Amino acid sequence: MKRLALILLGFVVVIGLAGGGAYFYGRARFHAPGPLAAARNVVVVAGSLAAVAEQLEHDGVIEDAREFRVAASLTKGEGGIRSAELAFPSQASLQQVLAVLRTGKPVQHLLTIPEGLTVKQIALLLEKTESLTGAPQLVGEASILPETYAYEYGMARAAIVERGRRALTRAMADLWEKRSPGLPISSPAQALILASIVERETSKADERPHVAAVFYNRMRLGMKLQSDPTVVYAASQGLGSLDRPISRADLDRDDPYNTYKIAGLPPSAICAPGLASIRAVLSPAKSEDLYFVADGSGGHVFARTLEEHNRNVAKWRARSSGGTN
């Protein structure tokens, strides 16, 4: 009887030692560095624990899918596993991988929609952003605010467009209320049309209020705006750019966007203006100038009279063959 008790006690000691060894081995594996050589973003798709484990092993985030499943099951009380694009650090241990899967924030991407793009150009930009989904669903020029937008993998393109539309609506409501008195425009829509022309006329922020003032002065006198960017818009069928200089045929074309032929503003904007151009149109400079021409260095020379303007044009043509206003 005493011999049997000693044998049973021996089994208990062996099992205890084995269990303790398994515990310390598992603990070591749980905290051991993983196989990722460098930090990496991984799109974790929705699925079963087994499917996630296989994906992470395939992507080199973990070493063994079975080991991962055991660790995830033993720590399931710490939370569920999320499906999103997540950032895993280099050599992430099983503990770190599970922490990222349970509490990590989805990776944020940035999409910049530059000022001055046409609706067709913005649609193409959105379509080329592969981490977005669905169709852009853009409606009309100057329908969204050019800005940098943060988004997560898989966000709908239409959601980016809607955020841009709301941003523009908020900005226009605020800026329209603060506009200078006596402007020869009657609505925020007209302000956007003129702002889009100013946007394409100059890339220099300090010139935009002056350019806006020139166009307002022309409008008050009943002069045609004679803006080259509107001619380009018409000739390019809304693309906003030409691979050639403006021709005489372009200037003579009967088109509602050809401001050398029509009086006043074109029927819609010709691009998406930025906030600086919108502010310039709603708070223009004080000026009596009626003309401007490129100065050859990225800016413009302004003139009050046609005679002065013609002299400026002659100087410009001596340097280059650029267009005039």
Rounded CA-CA distance 146/161 in Å is: 10
The yes-or-no verdict on residue 69 having pLDDT over 60 is yes
Residue 28, φ and ψ in degrees, nearest 5: -65, -45
Examine the domain organization and report whether 87 and 189 are in the same domain: no
218 domain-assigned: yes
Answer with the residue of higher pLDDT: 23 or 322. 23
Examine the domain organization and report whether 149 and 190 are in the same domain: no
Q: In a 10 Å sphere around its CB, with 0-12 CB exposed, 13-18 middle and 19+ buried, how is residue 113 labelled?
A: buried
Rounded CA-CA distance 30/68 in Å is: 9
28 domain-assigned: no
pTM: 0.81
Examine the domain organization and report whether 196 and 289 are in the same domain: yes
Examine the domain organization and report whether 187 and 309 are in the same domain: yes
Examine the domain organization and report whether 270 and 283 are in the same domain: yes
Examine the domain organization and report whether 185 and 313 are in the same domain: yes
What confidence tens digit (pLDDT) does each residue in 227-260 have? Answer: 999 999 999 988 888 889 999 999 999 999 999 9
Q: Is residue 97 within 8 Å of residue 88, measured between CB atoms?
A: yes
Examine the domain organization and report whether 98 and 216 are in the same domain: no
The yes-or-no verdict on residue 130 having pLDDT over 60 is yes
175 domain-assigned: no
23 domain-assigned: no
Rounded CA-CA distance 281/202 in Å is: 13
Examine the domain organization and report whether 129 and 89 are in the same domain: no
Examine the domain organization and report whether 40 and 64 are in the same domain: yes
210 domain-assigned: yes
2 domain-assigned: no
Share of the chain above pLDDT 70, in %: 90
Q: Is residue 233 within 8 Å of residue 269, measured between CB atoms?
A: no
| Token pair for 214 | 């020139």
DSSP bridge pairs for 42:
86
Q: Where are the alpha helices (DSSP H) in the chain?
A: 2-31, 49-58, 65-74, 94-103, 119-128, 157-177, 188-201, 208-221, 228-235, 248-252, 275-282, 306-319
| pLDDT value of residue 325 | 58
Q: What mean pLDDT value characterizes the chain?
A: 89
Domain range holding 155?
Answer: 109-165
170 domain-assigned: no
pLDDT level of residue 315 (50, 70, 90 thresholds): confident
Q: Is residue 289 within 8 Å of residue 304, measured between CB atoms?
A: yes
| Token pair for 166 | 């709301």
Examine the domain organization and report whether 292 and 208 are in the same domain: yes
Examine the domain organization and report whether 191 and 299 are in the same domain: yes
| Token pair for 149 | 């937008």
192 domain-assigned: yes
DSSP bridge pairs for 302:
292
pLDDT level of residue 28 (50, 70, 90 thresholds): confident
Residue that is last in its domain, among 83, 106, 129: 106
State how many domains the chain has.
3
| Token pair for 219 | 């409008």
pLDDT level of residue 3 (50, 70, 90 thresholds): very low
Examine the domain organization and report whether 265 and 298 are in the same domain: yes
